[in-house]
Amino acid sequence: MSIRIHPIKAFNDNYIWTLINEGNKQAIVIDPGQAEPVITYLEDNELELTSIWTTHHHYDHVGGVAELQEAYPMTHLVAHGEHTVDEDQTIKDGSTVSAWGCAAQVWDVSGHTASHMAYILDIDGQKHCFCGDTLFSAGCGRVFTGTIEQLHDSFERLNRLPAETLLYPAHEYTASNLRFGLTIEPANEVMQQTLAQAEAQTAQGVPTLPVTLAHERAVNVFLRTQEPTVIAGVKSQVAIDDDKPLTVFAALRELKDNF
């Protein structure tokens, strides 16, 4: 099975990840916050939209759903019951969704919101994780209607995926996240190199995504809460009660909120 994965840009920095089956010219979009760039892309490439998957209810992820359903009435909408859309298939943790015979496991990775789903698609043994606003390259989502404990659990869970898993966050925040990360770990050379690369890519409008989990383990301070350099970096900016991963994670999230 050959599935191509393409980011359609929306708003300022959203990516609507699109799964494309070149064999039958069908497409699946994930988190279409806007309909217009999706319709333009599908028409330019003579693709038919067959399915929409959503990760959470925020407007920049579901805002284009109704218009796309109208434009493509046969579209199969996959969403959690709290995603404020009229879904055809209600999903929750443990559900399975199909993309032309390839299975995607649904994981609850809440924290950013209370019902945030991730889709982990297996294509010929390679895992592709569409993680919405839970994990960004070198960063993590803000806590809105979920809790910091949930977000931390979600990070621990994502971190148990195979190292070669490809992660597809829904925003281009890489450079800004790395600038924050370097305030915590100024001597992290992989982060320094990745920032230079991300700034060059962003200046040219080239996505920095997807990224492998192995890469994130090297550059994402929110996955590095047990590293002595990260603990020391947090303590240089704020007093914390203990060195437990959740404590460090919560302090990082608060520091990032004010960055």
Task: Compute the least distance from the CB of residue 55 to Zn ion, in Å.
Answer: 8
By beta-carbon proximity to Zn ion, the closer residue of 133 and 185 is 133
Q: What is the CA radius of gyration of the chain?
A: 18
Task: Compute the least distance from the CB of residue 123 to Zn ion, in Å.
Answer: 26
Is 58 marked as binding a ligand? yes
Is 6 marked as binding a ligand? no
By beta-carbon proximity to Zn ion, the closer residue of 41 and 173 is 173
Residue 160 neighbours by CB distance under 10 Å: 8
Q: Say which residues have a Cβ less than 8 Å from residue 72's Cβ, sequence separation at least 6.
A: 48, 49, 50
Task: Compute the least distance from the CB of residue 56 to Zn ion, in Å.
Answer: 6
**Cα 91 to chain center, whole Å?**
18
- Residues in contact with Zn ion by the rule CB under 5 A: 58, 133
Is 56 marked as binding a ligand? yes
Interatomic CA distance for residues 197 and 199, integer angstroms: 5
Give me 173's structure tokens. 């925040």
Task: Compute the least distance from the CB of residue 190 to Zn ion, in Å.
Answer: 27
Task: Compute the least distance from the CB of residue 112 to Zn ion, in Å.
Answer: 6
By beta-carbon proximity to Zn ion, the closer residue of 9 and 217 is 9
By beta-carbon proximity to Zn ion, the closer residue of 8 and 170 is 170
**Would you say 40 and 6 are in contact if contact means Cβ atoms under 8 Å apart?**
no
Is 243 marked as binding a ligand? no
By beta-carbon proximity to Zn ion, the closer residue of 61 and 128 is 61
Is 153 marked as binding a ligand? no
**Would you say 75 and 52 are in contact if contact means Cβ atoms under 8 Å apart?**
yes
Closest to 180 measured CA to CA, from 228, 219, 134: 219
Give me 177's structure tokens. 């996240």
By beta-carbon proximity to Zn ion, the closer residue of 21 and 54 is 54
Interatomic CA distance for residues 121 and 193, integer angstroms: 29
Is 61 marked as binding a ligand? yes
Q: In what order do the strands lie in the sheet with 89-90?
A: 3-10, 14-21, 26-30, 48-53, 76-79, 89-90
Task: Compute the least distance from the CB of residue 113 to Zn ion, in Å.
Answer: 6
Q: What are phi and psi of 188, to 5 degrees?
A: -75, 105
Which residues does the annotation place in the binding site for Zn(2+)? 56, 58, 60-61, 112, 133, 171
Which residues does the annotation place in the binding site? 56, 58, 60-61, 112, 133, 171
